[in-house]
Amino acid sequence: MMLKELREKVYEANMDLPKHGLVVFTWGNASEFDRDSGLFVIKPSGVDYDKLSPESMVVCDLDGKVVDGDLNPSSDTPTHAYLYREWGDKIGGVVHTHSAWAVSWAQAGRDIPAYGTTHADYFYGPIPCMRGLTEEEIEEAYELNTGKVIVEGFAERDIDPVAVPAVLVRNHGPFTWGKDADAAVYHAVVLDEVAKMAARTEMLQDGVAPAPQYLQDKHYLRKHGPNAYYGQGGAH
C-alpha cells in the first residue's frame, strides 16, 4: 500500500475534525502532501467517520487523479490539489470544514477582523473572505475554481498563506492549512473559535475597532517572528 504511514496520519487528522466539533455527518476533509513523491492523501468522499480507516484514505497526484485507493476521493480534492500545486513549498496539509461560526462569516461575505490577541497569536491580520464564484466558474469546474479563487485572492491582497493559514470562501465555508494535516486541523479549530469570539464582540459593541497593530504585531511575532520566544523552543 502506497504511503502507509501518511494514510494513518491523514486518517487521524480526519478523525480529529468531529472530535473537535468542526464537522457533522461527512461535512469535512483533511489531506496531507508528501513532497518526496509529489502525491497527497485525502479522505474518501461521503463516507461516515465511523466507517473510515487508514486503508480507506485515497492517494492522489497534483492533478487530483487517484493513484492508489479503492474509493473516490473527497469532492473537494481539486481544491486541495490546486493549493498544493500553487503553495506546496509553503504548506503541507489542508482542511475544509463547514464549522458553524466560520461558515456564518463566509455566508455574510465578511473578513473576520483581528479584534484581539487570540486571533493575532495565529493569524497575522484579518482572515479574508474571498469573492463568490461566478456561475460560469461553478459550472465549469467548481472545486478547481474554488482553489483558484483562494490563490487569486491572496495574491491580489498580498497575503502570505503562511502568516494567514485560513480563508473563507464566500457562501461556502473555511479552508485552513499548515505544515502538515495536524497543523491544518489545529488552525481549523482556532479559526472557528476566533470566528465565534469576533461575532460575539460585534454583538456586544457596535463599531468596534480591530486590536491596535502594535498589539497584533507583538502577539503574532512573539510566536512566529525571527526572534520568537513564546513556548519552550526559543529564548526565555
Active site residue 121: yes
Contacts of 116 (CB under 8 A, 6+ apart): 197, 201, 211
**CA–CA distance, 175 with 93 (Å, rounded to integer):** 11
Which residue among 61, 68, 121, 217 is the active-site one?
Answer: 121
**CA–CA distance, 129 with 149 (Å, rounded to integer):** 10
Is residue 118 classed exposed, middle or buried when 0-12, 13-18 and 19+ CB atoms within 10 A define those classes? middle
How far apart, in Å, are the Cα atoms of 229 and each of 196, 201, 226, 232? 28, 29, 9, 8
User: Within 13 Å and on the Cβ side, how many CA atoms surround 107?
Assistant: 8
Which residue among 61, 68, 217, 230 is the active-site one?
Answer: 230
Instruction: Please check whether residue 224 is in contact with residue 122, taking contact to mean a CB–CB distance below 8 angstroms.
Output: no
Instruction: Please check whether residue 76 is in contact with residue 96, taking contact to mean a CB–CB distance below 8 angstroms.
Output: yes
Contacts of 184 (CB under 8 A, 6+ apart): 13, 30, 32, 91, 93, 94, 95, 165, 176, 177, 178
Nearest to 84 by CA among 132, 157, 144: 144
Q: Give the distance from CA 27 to its chain's centroid.
A: 14
Active site residue 50: no
Catalytic residue numbers, as ranges? 121, 230
